[in-house]
Structure formats: C-alpha cells, structure tokens
Copies of this chain bind each other. A is one copy, B any other.
C-alpha cells in the first residue's frame, strides 16, 4: 500500500493548494471549490478531509502558525545573541514574515474564517506566547510577576504595528532592505520601559 486512494494524500495536497491560493488571492480566495480545482479534484472532494470551510482554514492557519514559530525558534537558536537582541529578533522575524507573506499573516488572525478556539490551533498560539514570555523573562527587564504584562505589551505592539501596516497606514517609506527603522525605534522604546525600575 503506497497510495491509500486515487489521489494519494489529498488531505495534504489541499493544504498545499490552499497556500498557493492564499498567497495569490488572499483569504477570501481560499474557497473550498477553488482549492478543489487547484488540487484537481471535484468540488465536493475536500469534505471528506475537512468538514467545512472553517475547518479547512483553521487547519491551514495552524500549519502556518507552526511554520512561523519554527522560524522564530530557528533564528533564535542559530545566532549568539544578547538578551535584548533576542527580543528584537523575535519581533523582527514576525514583522518580516508579515511583510513577505501578508495574506498568510492576515489569515492567522481572521476571526471570521478561522476558529481560534480550536484546540490544536490554541496549542500553537500558547506555545508562541510561552516563547514570548521566555524571552521577556530572560531579558530580566522586569520582576517575575510583571513578565506577562511585558510579554503581552511586546506582542501587542508588534502585532498591532503589523496590522496597521497591513491596512495601509504608515507606509513602507520607513523601511529599507537592510532594516526597519520605525520598528527598531519602537523596540528601543520598549526596552527603555524596563530600565526605570529602581
């Protein structure tokens, strides 16, 4: 038994097709029927693997979130960094991912299309939050009982900036190939907030 059925492993092929459509046409372009066409199967074939559109897009978001988290972890491991640099890397990887794949980032937070109460997705998001807390904690910029506040503030700031940028505010004139001056200035501001505890 090499191929379980006609197509082989349609479940994975549907996710691949979804990413292609997502990048090309945005979240709204990832319809069940379009995904089926892209994968070369009939319009109702996907229902065997994902019971409705929300389920498909939630699975897709879960995969993308895992990729992004892996991306962050890999980058943090590959370089020898100071604690405050690690926070910058965390933010920068997120930001560059969003600018490189705007539609993928949009899907991750699309409440109308993705079910954010899905256990598997929730698990990845909590791992992400955990990683964020670990970096804040490692930077020793606040007391232990403030770690969550600082972590939420950092994530909120980065996510909020990305979201505002993706809607067209604060146009790209801020950015260059070698860096993101605005983001870096904001990160410096964030770091400063931890230096006044006396």
Contact = CB atoms under 8 A, between A and B. Distances in A.
Interface of A: 26-28, 106, 109-112, 116-117, 125, 129, 146, 149-150, 152-153, 155-161, 163-164, 166-170, 182, 185-186, 189-190, 192-196
Given A185-B149, A189-B149, A189-B150, A164 B155 contact: yes
A89 to B, nearest CB: 18
Contacts of A189: 149-150, 153, 193
A187 to B, nearest CB: 9
Contacts of A182: 149, 152
Contacts of A150: 189
Contact of A27 (B112, B152, B167): B112
Nearest to A168: B116
Contacts of A193: 189-190, 192-193
